[in-house]
Amino acid sequence: MDTSIWSLLFRRSTTDGELPVVKELRALIAEFRVALLGTVRQELLSGIRQEEQFVNLRSRLRAFPDEQLTSEDYELAAEFFTRCRMQGIQGSNTDFLLCAASVRRGMPLFTADLDFELYAKQLPIQLHRVREPE
């Protein structure tokens, strides 16, 4: 799960809560099918100016333990970065770390960031799609 999806969940806008991606994330949480990387936690908490908002979000995020990363995750992320760069595709270290963690754990990535569509053309990542209502 990347920062873009989590951000939509925690926004204060009432209309964001009705978005299909937010409903899907809530369903995945209820099914215990989410993982949070520490780097995504950091991105979500960074830049919050009001201490009360920071403390509130930090408290809500603590319900989700960080997925523990290994040296192999970081090494694979570096390989992915290089592979994409050689094809002219730029991305952040966090994006490629998410890709590596996803591949190594056999977990699809849920994102609203279109960059991951480009990565998926070069990397063996699976992207989670919003499921159709039953």
Q: In the chain, what are the domain boundaries?
A: 3-61, 71-122
What pLDDT, on a 0 to 100 scale, did the predictor assign at position 50?
94
SS3 label, residue 107: coil
d(CA 121, CA 91): 13
CA 74 to CA 80: how far, in whole Å?
A: 10
Query: What is the structure's pLDDT at 12?
Result: 61
Chain position carrying tokens 């204060």: 12
Cα–Cα nearest to 37, from 5, 79, 8: 5
So what's the pLDDT on residue 19? 86
pTM to 2 decimal places: 0.89
pLDDT the model gives residue 47: 87
> Do 103 and 123 touch, CB atoms closer than 8 A?
yes
Q: What does the block give as tokens for 96?
A: 């490629």
| Residue 15: per-residue pLDDT | 63
Calpha distance 76→92 (Å, rounded): 14
Task: Compute the distance between CA of residue 81 and CA of residue 93 in angstroms, rounded to an integer.
Answer: 7
- In order along its 134 residues, the chain shows pLDDT tens digits of 889 999 988 876 656 567 889 999 999 999 999 999 999 999 999 989 999 999 999 999 999 999 999 999 999 999 999 999 999 999 999 999 999 999 999 999 999 999 999 999 999 999 999 987 66
Rounded (10°) CA dihedral 57, 11, 105, 121 = -150
In this prediction, residue 105 carries a pLDDT of 97
CB atoms within 10 A of CB 72: 11
State residue 102's pLDDT score: 97
Rounded to whole angstroms, the Cα distance separating 99 from 126 reads 9
